[in-house]
A and B are shown apart, each in its own frame.
Chain A
Amino acid sequence: MTVVSQVKQTLANLKGARGTLRMYSAQTRDQETKAVFNDALGITDNIITDLQNRLKILELKEPQYKGN
């Protein structure tokens, strides 16, 4: 597996996790737990942005893998 597709897979994983976190932060009744989930949402969001930026650079360097 190429680096690009590996990063893409991790990115997809994290996006899935972010979706679940968002669901829990919406449906949790306890305020403290809600805050923890919201916090987690922010951190995963940052990581996702970082990975997306990295992906752009990688695709620029190795254009043959673009779209994989």
Chain B
Amino acid sequence: MEWIYIMLKSISLFILVWASAKLLGKKNINRLTPFSFMGYIVIAVTAVLITLNFINIISGIIVLAIWIILPVLLDFFAIKSKTFHQLLNGKETILIKHGKIMEENLMPLRMTGEDLLAELRSKNIFNLAEIEYAVMETNGEINAYLKSDKKTITPHDLGKKVAPQAEPQTVIMDGNILDESLASLGFNRQWMESQLENMGITLENVFIGQVDSSGDLFLDLFDDAIELAQPKVKEMLYANLEKSQADLSTFATETEDTKAKAMFSKNADDLDNLLNKLRPYLLH
């Protein structure tokens, strides 16, 4: 009956180790500090040794308990105290400062210049001259801050206003309406049906449908031969307003009535300002 015994032990240890992994936290395995990595190994190896009867079950359980409870306790203290956190996890090391490599900091990390370059290359940085500042985090990951003229341009850098956009919601999947996400947008099935009808599409033909934050519907169909006019409502609206603005300007120059002239040119100006304001929201 040896095998039943081992099986029962394996299953109970499986559950125990699984529970301890949950207890020890959600941290990604490659973000672990070397120390907590060793903790995981000790737990795993002890579990195996107990199952295969290499060590006595009581002493095995004691080892497991200590290696599970201590890290949890230490983590708890690390959250409460900053000095303890540093003592436990160490401190990040500055590798590059003001664009210059800190050679004296590389030494204690047992890192060569080649190692540093390789790490930076894996971050897609091939040229040292692009880096302003780089640190090695306590888990060994290297993060670099680029010089301001080498950073990716954002709309903010260009002084451009962009419309805020929330995440799109998927409302149709495999020809089925997802009521929950539709309801979270404040729409219902009736709205969906009228939208599909306007586009001349049946629900069964839709593979994926998404609604963006401004309420426009984007569809991908099963039948890719069908050319679908994707929403151009915003562009049309902008063009429409632009045309009206041009009309108003024309009226302002053509009319001889001074009062009407003033009214037309004021409205033309208002509409022009409005167009500038709407541009980021309607054209993108």
Task: Enumerate chain A interface residues (CB-CB to B < 8 A).
Answer: 3, 6-7, 9-10, 13-14, 16-17, 20-21, 23-24, 27-30, 32-33, 36-37, 39-40, 43-44, 46-47, 50-51, 54, 57
Other contacts beyond A9-B247, A24-B215, A44-B241: 18, CB < 8 A: A10-B247, A13-B240, A13-B244, A13-B247, A17-B241, A21-B237, A29-B186, A29-B215, A30-B163, A30-B165, A30-B166, A33-B163, A33-B164, A33-B281, A37-B281, A39-B277, A43-B270, A47-B271
Nearest CB of chain B from residue A1's CB, rounded to whole Å:
11
B100 at the interface (CB under 8 A from A): no
Which residue on A lies nearest to B238, using beta carbons? Answer: A17
Nearest CB of chain A from residue B97's CB, rounded to whole Å:
39
Nearest CB of chain B from residue A41's CB, rounded to whole Å:
10
Q: Answer whether A40 and B277 are a contact pair too, CB < 8 Å, given A6-B251, A13-B240, A17-B244.
A: yes
B153 at the interface (CB under 8 A from A): no
Residues of B within 8 A of A3 (CB): 251, 254-255
B240 near A16 (CB under 8 angstroms)?
yes
Residues of A within 8 A of B277 (CB): 36, 39-40
CA distance A43 to B251 in the complex (A): 18
B65 at the interface (CB under 8 A from A): no
Residues of A within 8 A of B185 (CB): 29
CA distance A9 to B247 in the complex (A): 9
Question: At the interface, is chain A mostly helix, strand, loop or mixed?
Answer: helix
Q: Answer whether A50 and B247 are a contact pair too, CB < 8 Å, given A28-B213, A40-B278.
A: no
A36 near B278 (CB under 8 angstroms)?
yes
A47 near B248 (CB under 8 angstroms)?
yes
Residues of A within 8 A of B241 (CB): 14, 17, 44
Which residue on A lies nearest to B273, using beta carbons? Answer: A43
Which residue on A lies nearest to B274, using beta carbons? Answer: A43
A17 near B237 (CB under 8 angstroms)?
yes
Residues of B within 8 A of A40 (CB): 274, 277-278
25 cross-chain CB contacts under 8 A:
A3-B255, A7-B251, A10-B248, A13-B240, A13-B243, A17-B240, A17-B241, A20-B240, A21-B237, A24-B234, A27-B186, A27-B215, A28-B214, A28-B215, A33-B213, A33-B281, A36-B281, A39-B277, A40-B277, A43-B271, A43-B274, A44-B241, A46-B267, A50-B267, A54-B260
CA distance A14 to B214 in the complex (A): 21
B263 at the interface (CB under 8 A from A): yes
B244 near A29 (CB under 8 angstroms)?
no
